[in-house]
Amino acid sequence: MSDVISPRHMIRLDHKPQLFSFRVAGLVFHNGHLLVNRSVTDRYWALPGGRAEIGESSEETILREIEEELHVKARIERLLWSAESFFSYGEYDAHELAFYYLIHLEQAFPFHESDIVHRIVDGVDVEFRWLLATAPVLKESDLRPAFIAERIEALPERHEHLIVREGVKRHD
């Protein structure tokens, strides 16, 4: 058996102005709040997670991303949604295939109702905070994709597949 580590290749096809990516994200709850993150240069929030790699299942991706970003072990409770999303992203017309898992953190993670609780450098500076898990708060905070806010107060008991077309939201 060889100890050679295969190179990692994220699933992303960049053919400007078109972009395709395969993303996996997790919904982590604590005290009625949802964990979100953003690049310090962005105005919108997103769920923790990242791009899948070739040869990696969506479940492997979310567990790897949680450990890389939050430095804690997690377990998957269940798959909530798979989504084919079409949206504008910078100069791109983006097409994203994404899986959204309900995640339970196996180790303690900082909590505060309004402050940034964690920071990492993942190519860019990324900050994490908890937002009250209600539709009005998540919409006002510009959580993306927007369908998460619309469905946050009634999570599905079984997996749902969605096709999402979000309008252009430019913040200049």
Q: For 123-155, write each residue's pLDDT tens digit.
A: 899 999 999 999 999 999 999 999 999 999 999
Q: Which residue has the higher pLDDT, 95 or 1?
A: 95
According to the model, what pLDDT value does residue 6 have? 74
pLDDT confidence of residue 15: 95
pLDDT category, 2, cuts 50, 70, 90? low
Residue 80: both structure tokens together: 């909530």
Residue 120 has pLDDT above 80, yes or no: yes
pLDDT in tens, 86-103: 999 889 999 999 999 999
Determine which of 105-109, 120-124, 130-134 has the lowest per-residue pLDDT on average: 120-124
pLDDT of residue 161: 98
What residue segments make up the domains of the chain, in order of their start? 14-165
Query: 99-117 as b/e, with b when 16 or more CB fall inside 10 Å?
Result: bbbbbebeeebeeeeeeeb
CATH 3.30.450.20 fits 14-165, yes or no: no
- Asked if residue 35 has pLDDT above 80, the reply is yes
Find where tokens 């009250």 sit. Answer: 132
